[in-house]
Structure 1
Amino acid sequence: MTATTPEGAPAWFTEALAASVEVGIVNVGGADIHYRAWGKPGDESGIVLVHGGAAHSRWWDHIAPFLAGDRRVVALDLSGHGDSGRRPEYRMELWADEVLATAEAGRAGPHPLVIGHSMGGMVSLTTARLRGSELAGAVAIDTPFWDNLPEDAAANAQQAFGPLRTYPTKDDALRRFKLIPTQDGNVPAVLAHIAETSLHERASGWSWKFDPNVFRGRTTLRTLTLPQCRVAVFRAERGLVPPDMGDLIAERLGRVVPVVEIPFSAHHVMIDQPLSLITGLRTLLADWTHSEPHKPTPEV
């Protein structure tokens, strides 16, 4: 589906959506995984962007072009999300396979940096735990480790993400779009773009793209072990990762993990503070390009 640029969108957003983008498909374990790619493959490690639960690759449309200066940037739809195929069950380990297969198919390898938001942060660190030697690094953005993800909590409470409804018109569906958790201060053009690209048209009407079964029986990341690659954590000042959780994550990962706070942001950082997120990620990339990784101090 081709989305239109919302009226009154800021110039930087319009520029991002006008950037050249390639689309592709790679089959992973019997499911077709759709992805979008920006920039030319080069000498620098590419980037794979991983969305959160019930989201999709187009949450990154306004972020990816600003990370693709001299890097290849790929954003995928995890299975059960967006335009990708569905599975009988969903596991972090299989999503990690999808990340690496997409990196290869989208030419973001051979040692990509994986950046994930919320549930996507769990996918990123699972990839780092299982295949860290194949990565340049992993970044988790406002991922509440050891707590339930907001989408899981809403699904378990039957407040959202139940059986998919079909709406007679796109406008009817868009009026029902909401963020989980809700938040104020969103950039209207970003929110409108994400809402519109979350829908697809069927013969009977319009419905959301995600598979509700994603939230049933899914395993989450409950333990953190030091992976064989660099790791960074971004937390939203008003999000789901309080300062003490950020400190605990850094401690569990050997005290060599930067914890970066995005000020004035809620959980969905790319919707209410996108430029701050871009700046933070660019700064991290610049540092990791020109510095040596710190090694954890062995316990005596």
Structure 2
Amino acid sequence: MLLAHDDASPEASPAVVLLHAGVADRRMWDPVAGHLAHTFRVVRPDLRGHGDTPLPPEEYADADDVAALLDHLEIAEAAVVGASFGGRVALELATRHPARVRQLVLLNPGLRGLDPTPDAAAFDAAEAALLDSGDVEGAVRLNVRTWLADGAALSAREALAAMQRRAFEVQLAADEAEVATGTGPRPERVEVDLSRVAVPTLVVAGGRDLDHFRNVAAHVAAHVPGAELTHLPWSAHLPALERPDAVVTLLLDALRDDPGVHAP
């Protein structure tokens, strides 16, 4: 299955792939992508179960989906920018298809294997309770309140609400189909060995994010050889929505830099 995607400036080189957070879809990069497209070929997919990409009842790995999209677009390698869940997928892509990744920028990345901190566990429990009771709108509000800093613009809050609502629609529909048919989506777990990630890597941590994600960012930066860690004290979990201008500057600085400066 080919991921729904946008491909800006296809005549440009080099390529940059933007992978969205799990509460969002490719629209989260709307305030950022146009600025990058002046210099780079910018590819924005919707991962399975998000935006315009369905969640069919089959085995899959998100990293394989991204690699297949690069094949379709005839892109040999790309810098990969991943936010939250998209950061986890970026690391899985670098693990499973290392030749396709030229550079990593990870914004408050996710990572399997680290125990959730109390704040993350409390969020998971609250979201599950709302969804179990059928209060999807309550779960949307919880996500917006949790993942955006208090000072985020109303437009950012409305955009995130729309993206999270869409993700719930797609994913809950897949859950209902699985109950009815006995067959559902089967994501493959891709194990990431951070010590084997061998590309220039910048990890970004939000000072107002949940403790869990600050811990993940520090862990990734400490275990990927040569990785750099940058703190954004003003940011919660989604800086690209909170202060897109600052993220554009950060990304242009990182992606235009001499890769040798960050190499392991």
In structure 2, relative to structure 1, the CA distance for the partners of 1:268 and 1:237 (3 Å cut) is same
Query: Structure 1 residue 211 and structure 2 residue 180: aligned?
Result: no
Write the distance in 2 (CA, Å) between the matches of 1:71 and 1:176: 33
Contact 1:238 1:264 in 2 (8 A): yes
The match for 1:133 is 99
Residue deviations 1:88-147 (CA, integer Å, cap 9, x gap): 3676xx10011122234345x221111111111000001001111222112221024424
C-alpha contact (below 8 Å) 1:37/1:75 kept by paired residues:
yes
Matches within 5 A, 1:16-165: 27=1, 32-42=2-12, 44-88=13-57, 94-106=61-73, 109-145=75-111, 146-148=114-116, 154-155=123-124, 158-162=128-132
* Aligned mates of 1:155, 1:164 — CA distance in 2: 15
Distance 1:163 1:38 in 2: 41
Shift of 1:196: 3.6
Q: Distance in 2 between matches of 1:142 and 1:165?
A: 27
* Percent pairwise identity: 24
1:222 to 1:71, Cα distance in 2 relative to 1, 3 A? closer
Specify which of 217, 221, 226 is matched with residue 250 of structure 1: 221
Q: CA deviation at 1:159?
A: 3.6
Aligned letter for 1:252?
A: H
Task: Report the equivalent of 1:269.
Answer: 239
How far apart in 1 are the matches of 2:262 and 2:190? 28
Q: Normalized against structure 1, the TM-score is what? A: 0.69
Alpha-carbon contact 1:111-1:135 (below 8 Å) kept? yes
CA distance in structure 1 between the partners assigned to 2:45 and 2:71 by the alignment = 12
Counterpart for residue 181 of structure 2:
none
From the superposition, tell whether residues 89 and 164 of structure 1 become closer, same or farther in structure 2 (CA, over 3 Å): farther
Instruction: Quote the Cα distance in structure 2 between the aligned partners of 1:269 and 1:124.
Output: 17
Residues 122 and 221 of structure 1 are in contact (CA less than 8 Å); yes or no, is this contact kept in structure 2? no
Segments of structure 1 that go 5 or more residues without pairing to the other structure are 1-26, 167-172, 201-206
Aligned residue number for residue 7 of structure 1:
none
* Contact in 1 for aligned 2:84/2:108 (Cα 8 Å): yes
What residue ranges of structure 2 are gaps of 5+ in the alignment? 176-183
Q: 1:147 to 1:293 in 2, by over 3 A?
A: farther
Q: Take 2:116 and 2:192, find their aligned partners in 1: how far apart are those partners? A: 10
Q: What is residue 204 of structure 1 aligned with on the other side?
A: none
TM-score calculated relative to the size of structure 2: 0.77
Aligned residues: 246
Mapping 1:149-228, distance limit 5 Å: 154-155=123-124, 158-162=128-132, 177=141, 178-179=143-144, 181-182=146-147, 183-196=149-162, 208-212=168-172, 213=175, 219=189, 223-228=193-198
Report if aligned partners of 1:122, 1:220 keep a CA contact under 8 Å in 2.
Answer: no
Q: Show the 5 A alignment for 1:257-296.
A: 257-287=227-257, 290-292=258-260, 294-296=262-264
Are positions 1:238 and 2:208 aligned together? Answer: yes
CA RMSD of superposed structures (Å): 3.5
Q: Which has the higher helix share?
A: 2
1:247 deviates by 4.1
- Superposition deviation, residue 271 in structure 1: 2.1
Structure number with greater CO (CA < 8 Å, separation at least 6) is: 2
